[in-house]
Amino acid sequence: MAEATGVGYFIYGVVPSDVEPTEDARGLGDPAAPVTVVTHGEVAALVSEIGLDRPLGRPDDLVAYKQLLDGTAVEAPVLPIRFGTVLESRDAVTELLSAAHDDYLAALNELDGRVEYVVRGRYVEQAVLTEVLAENPEAEELRQQLRGAPENSSMDLRMRLGELINEGVEARRAADTDRLVDALTAVSVASVLRPPTHEQDAAHAAFLVETERRAEFEEAVERLADDEWSGRVNVKMLGPLAPYDFAARPQPQG
């Protein structure tokens, strides 16, 4: 590893060599540094200079990284490089590109004309608790028992109730995750499950979508949210995004 002094090159992602950042494209730093390309063969890296005297990962850094990649993704295929990757010189960037040129090119071809969406469902608390209680007599009985009990008593019963509810929610999450993927399989190229970010998450997954079918995909998400999941799951859709979940090895759906 080189020593961290002076200036380095923060690398955002790899693109086809015919991609050129616009003049106003900016990356990390304060003031935000201009984004340039380092080209090798048919691929190029999006980079910007960065001072090595400060740690990376402040909110502005993360936002700038993501905005550059997401903005690029709607114009051209891009392989995101893990946040925080800094090389010591432009020559080192070239070396990196040459070492994996063919792999990058193949992955870029695979991602051409495709963007990512992330869809997350979050349960409406009252709705999911009501569902779980309705099918679990033990939980319902505990709930009745605990009503009106002093709040710091009967800790064992509270724990047991919480455990049963959690089991019920987890089972529902598994089913609703399947449902989400089923509903969107026809309008996407591939999907990757993401771990839940909250204990009341109903589903969380990333989808690779043909740019031409973006409207169709978004409509399918809306249909699920407005019909079947209306009143029980709130849906959030992020995208179009750079293919964060599909960069390593894009896998066609089986």
Partner 1 sequence: MTSAIQPSGGGGVSRGGGSSSDLAEVVGTILDKGIVIDAHVSVGIVGIKLLTIDARVVVASVDTYLRFAEATNRLDLTSSQGKGLPEIVQGPKGALMEKAGDVLGELVGGESRERAPRRRRREED
- The bridge status of strand 190-193 relative to strand 201-210 is antiparallel
Do residues 202 and 145 make contact, with C-beta atoms less than 8 angstroms apart? no
Per CB under 8 A, 55 contacts partner 1: yes
Closest CA to 121 of 234, 43, 31: 234
Site map for partner 1, 182-211, x if CB under 8 A?
-------------xxxxx-x----------
Q: How far is the CB of 253 from partner 1 (least distance, A)?
A: 20
| Span interacting with partner 1, options 36-44, 181-189, 222-230, rule CB under 8 A | 222-230
Q: How many CB atoms lie within 10 A of CB 163?
A: 11
HSE, side-chain direction, 13 A CA sphere, residue 247: 18
Q: With respect to partner 1, which residue has the nearer C-beta, 136 or 189?
A: 136
**Residue from the set 89, 109, 251, 253 that interacts with partner 1 by CB under 8 A:** 89
State how far the Cα of 91 lies from the Cα of 112, in Å rounded to an integer. Answer: 27
Site for partner 1 in 111-150 (CB under 8 A): 118, 125-126, 129-130, 133, 139, 143, 146-147
**Residue from the set 59, 137, 252, 254 that interacts with partner 1 by CB under 8 A:** 59
Q: Copy the structure tokens of residue 84.
A: 């925080």
Q: How many CB atoms lie within 10 A of CB 197?
A: 9
Q: With respect to partner 1, which residue has the nearer C-beta, 77 or 196?
A: 196
**Residue from the set 169, 183, 184, 208 that interacts with partner 1 by CB under 8 A:** 169
Count of residues engaged in binding partner 1, rule: CB under 8 A:
91
